[in-house]
Amino acid sequence: MFTIIIGSITAFCIWIYIEKAKLPYDANGTYFSEEGIVYHEQAKEVYGLLSIIGLLITSILAYKLIRK
Spatial CB neighbours of 52, under 8 Å, sequence gap ≥ 6: none
Q: Residue 54 pLDDT > 90, yes or no?
A: yes
Q: Residue 9 pLDDT > 80, yes or no?
A: yes
Q: What mean pLDDT, rounded, does the chain reach?
A: 85
C-alpha of 38 from chain center: 18
pTM surpassing 0.85? no
Nearest to 29 by CA among 45, 18, 16: 45
- Using one digit for the tens of pLDDT, what is the confidence trace for 14-41? 998 898 888 777 777 677 766 777 777 7
Q: Give the span between the Cα atoms of 2 and 7, in whole angstroms.
A: 8
Nearest to 16 by CA among 42, 48, 53, 52: 48
SS3 25: strand
What pLDDT score was predicted for residue 12? 94
